[in-house]
Structure 1
Amino acid sequence: MTVTPAFTAEDARRRRLAILAMVGASALIAVTSLIAKALGLGGEGSGLHPFQVSAARFVFGFMTVAAFALWLRPDFRGAAWPVHAGRTAAGWLGATCLFAAAARMPLADATAISFLSPVVTMGLAILFLGERVGPWRWLAVAVALTGALVLIRPGTAAYQPAAAIALGAAAFMGLEAIMIKRLSDREPPIRILLINNCLGACIAGTAAAFVWRAPTPEQWPLLVLIGVAMVGAQSLFIQAMKRGAASHVIPAFYSTLVFASLYDFAVFGDVPDALAVAGAALIVAGVVLLLLRQQARK
């Protein structure tokens, strides 16, 4: 007979800390999208290209991680460089698409559509890993995709063309998630963060060189902040996953949508309508159900 270990006060404390860390990560991720929107819109034609915004995210992110790496001195022997390169390319494309979409549509809508990335991850797992999917997970996918259709509203006057860019962000983030899983199983977090931001700075900086325009004095602090905030979000996300089970902490990640809505209203005065709220709720419900079923299967 199997005996279930007792749930101790220390376990409860660790779970609370894990959830708080995930909520903190969500708040910072929403901040990066808000900054990207502000930089993309600009003022009087001073908006920056998404390539420049994502370059700042990686360049200043790398500088932040490098400062900690000087102290921690990570070992690079045995690093899976091809996986790191693929993960970084997918992450750069995902971030660039999300930043571009955020500048062209309500921030909450772009964030909600990007949450479809676990659906993409599941599809890739079926294709490349031979994973079998049961009826509950297919139902979860159907619910999430229905929410996306409600948000995008194809064939209506309210159709949002920028939603296609947000869908691209979800696809690239889903691909990135598979490679992050491979890396996190075998490499320390500081090495993953350092290599990711270093390679990302090289890729994003090269792309930004072709569309470069000098940022205004007001934009430079925002460019620095987007890199620092993303590193903070990544670090909190890793700590949350280390301290708590995925089934407990991942649902808290979807508080990103709440933060995005609050930030968008506070800064730009955007208020989501009833259909937008319903679509976002369906996406979150479907994806949370999908993740819970995946965890139960494991």
Structure 2
Amino acid sequence: MNRPIQHNPPLAAIFVLVATTFIAGTTLVAKALGTDALGAPLHPLQVSHGRFLFAFIAISSVAAILHPKLTSPNWGLHIGRTTFGWAGVSLMFAAVAFIPLADATAITFLNPVFAMMLAIPLLGEKVGPWRWGAAVIALIGAMILLRPTPDSFQPAALLALAAAMIMGMELIFIKKLAGRESPLQVLLINNTLGVLIASIAVIPVWQMPSPEQWAALAALGVLMACAQACFVNGMARADASFVAPFSYATLIFATLYDFLGFGAMPDAVTILGAGIILTGAAVLAWREGRLKKINPPVAETIS
């Protein structure tokens, strides 16, 4: 029998912080693959294919060792969740090739805001003034990061915004899946379906990666698998409302990696916009905790 995991908020925070280093690492590797840093740039669909392929290999290897007890899955929810997750990841990888990692990372923190809006028609949820206020704050931050002036507008930022919207739809499916199946089963099925979808989508744009790119694609998948494992362990040891704010450290590490890898320094607009988005997201997380919403494991929200 498996012993229940003890409630341990400090350890949960450590697990989530470690996960954020891995998540930020995936964006750095995706940017290297999508630019000429490692050779001829790979198409975002090929980068996302590598992410799912090598994450599938890593997670299925763990499952083969642990022999988890599997239950009958809800295939409709899994297919919907994975399809939107794959699309969101592909758009995110496309965005980071053209805009700073800090901008792309901050914009994708809008996904719970879009999920909140989508939950009104799709889940019948009621949204009060606090949650609407948090959403408006976050969206103002996004508008700042989009730099909507003729001289500074970044069209590629719209890719990150679309990624956040699609990942918000993914969260709707995750809410429906929450509590139905074990985290390892959800991750295994997610990555199995993901590699199937990605393998079909990559066919028209496939090009033979260089040895360095193969290594980077493998690192991308393993980093994502490690991030998912850390989030699973973190969420098992503390309430989601306590753990969620620690995930915002992803922005710090993404900024640091972008500086170390590409010499990119965040400007005042990035700092202002990111700060406003994180403020809105933090208020939303606090309100969700006050309302005692049933939150799915954060690990399951990572595509």
Work out the CA distance in 2 between the residues paired with 1:198 and 1:103: 26
Report the alpha carbon displacement of residue 178 of structure 1 after superposing the two structures with TM. Answer: 2.1
Q: What do residues 121-143 of structure 1 show as CA deviations (whole Å, max 9, x unaligned)?
A: 10111111121111111111111
Report the alpha carbon displacement of residue 175 of structure 1 after superposing the two structures with TM. Answer: 1.2
Corresponding residue of 1:280: 274
Report the alpha carbon displacement of residue 73 of structure 1 after superposing the two structures with TM. Answer: 2.3
Corresponding residue of 1:172: 166
Work out the CA distance in 2 between the residues paired with 1:239 and 1:80: 23
Asked whether the equivalents of residues 38 and 212 of structure 2 are also in contact (C-alpha less than 8 Å), the reply is: no
Report the alpha carbon displacement of residue 43 of structure 1 after superposing the two structures with TM. Answer: 4.5
Which runs of structure 1 show a deviation greater than 3 angstroms over 4 or more consecutive aligned residues?
74-77
Q: How does 1:43-122 map to 2 (within 5 A)?
A: 43=37, 46-122=40-116
Corresponding residue of 2:190: 196
Unaligned stretches of 5+ in structure 1? 1-9
- Determine if the alignment matches structure 1 residue 131 to structure 2 residue 125: yes
Question: For residue 191 of structure 2, what is the amino acid of its counterpart?
Answer: N
Q: What do residues 225-253 of structure 1 show as CA deviations (whole Å, max 9, x unaligned)?
A: 00000011111111111111111110000
Corresponding residue of 2:25: 31
Work out the CA distance in 2 between the residues paired with 1:209 and 1:75: 34
Work out the CA distance in 2 between the residues paired with 1:18 and 1:182: 24
Work out the CA distance in 1 between the residues paired with 2:254 and 2:124: 36
Q: State the TM-score, normalized to the length of structure 2.
A: 0.92
Report the alpha carbon displacement of residue 284 of structure 1 after superposing the two structures with TM. Answer: 0.5
Instruction: Tell me the secondary structure at the aligned position of residue 229 of structure 1.
Output: helix
Corresponding residue of 1:219: 213
Question: For residue 119 of structure 1, what is the amino acid of its counterpart?
Answer: V
Across the aligned residues of Structure 1 and Structure 2, the Cα RMSD in angstroms comes to: 1.3
Larger Rg: 1
Unaligned stretches of 5+ in structure 2? 1-5, 293-303
Instruction: Tell me the secondary structure at the aligned position of residue 231 of structure 1.
Output: helix
Report the alpha carbon displacement of residue 42 of structure 1 after superposing the two structures with TM. Answer: 2.1
Select between 181-190 and 88-97 the one with higher mean Cα deviation.
181-190
Q: State the TM-score, normalized to the length of structure 1.
A: 0.93
Total equivalences in the alignment = 287
Which residue among 7, 12, 18 is the counterpart of 1:18?
A: 12
Work out the CA distance in 2 between the residues paired with 1:250 and 1:271: 26
Question: For residue 189 of structure 1, what is the amino acid of its counterpart?
Answer: P
Question: For residue 239 of structure 2, what is the amino acid of its counterpart?
Answer: A
Select between 172-181 and 187-196 the one with higher mean Cα deviation.
172-181
Give aligned-pair identity as a percent. 49
Report the alpha carbon displacement of residue 259 of structure 1 after superposing the two structures with TM. Answer: 0.3
